[in-house]
Amino acid sequence: MRSLSGLVMALSIALLAGCQSAPSPSVAHSSAAAPVPAAAVATERWVRTELYCRIAPLDAEGLGLASAEGMWRTFLDEEVTPRFPDGFSVFDASGQGREETADTISRERNKVLVLIYPDTAARRAGIEALCTAFKTRSGEKGLLVVTAPVDAQMR
């Protein structure tokens, strides 16, 4: 399992990767920008949650990798889809971190599950349930969870 410093580094990288500057007023009000209809303006607070899930060592091949991929597919079908039926995204990623019990670097295959949803107590409970279910299914002791407010609209 990664040490706290490894998680902090991973979190910093994830946050920096997601940073975007807001459009300048001249861009937002230019004639090229289409006006946003009043009905499209979000009235609920929405959040984006990313779960960084370790699937297998980076050098895993064969049946070990196939088993990990099967576990992941079952996790999505049985845990994620029922709690977030409106949709989600998954990205393949590779990462690394320092093992807690050793001075070695662990390189790993990861899945990044991205969920964007209205910020309600029920949805946050759904995220906690996903974390518990993933740890139970995978045998992992923990996973990195990043949640940040977003301005989300369907157009």
pLDDT tens-digit profile of 59-87? 777 767 888 899 999 999 999 999 999 99
CATH number for the domain harbouring residue 53: 3.30.70.120
Q: Would 106 be classed as within a structural domain? A: yes
Task: Kindly report the average pLDDT of the chain as a whole number.
Answer: 77
Task: Look at residue 155 in the predicted model and tell me its pLDDT.
Answer: 85
Q: Would 146 be classed as within a structural domain? A: yes
Task: Look at residue 41 in the predicted model and tell me its pLDDT.
Answer: 55
Number of folded domains that form the chain = 1
Domain encompassing residue 137 = 4-13+44-150
Task: Look at residue 117 in the predicted model and tell me its pLDDT.
Answer: 95
Residue 118: which residues within 8 A CB-CB, separation 6 or more?
44, 45, 46
Task: Look at residue 39 in the predicted model and tell me its pLDDT.
Answer: 53
Query: From the first residue on, what is the mean pLDDT of each consecutive set of 10 residues in the chain (155 residues)?
Result: 38 38 38 51 83 84 80 96 96 86 84 96 97 94 94 85
Q: Would 29 be classed as within a structural domain? A: no
Q: Would 73 be classed as within a structural domain? A: yes
Q: Would 66 be classed as within a structural domain? A: yes
Rounded to two decimals, what is the model's pTM?
0.69
Q: Would 31 be classed as within a structural domain? A: no
Task: Look at residue 144 in the predicted model and tell me its pLDDT.
Answer: 94
Q: Would 36 be classed as within a structural domain? A: no
Task: Look at residue 28 in the predicted model and tell me its pLDDT.
Answer: 39
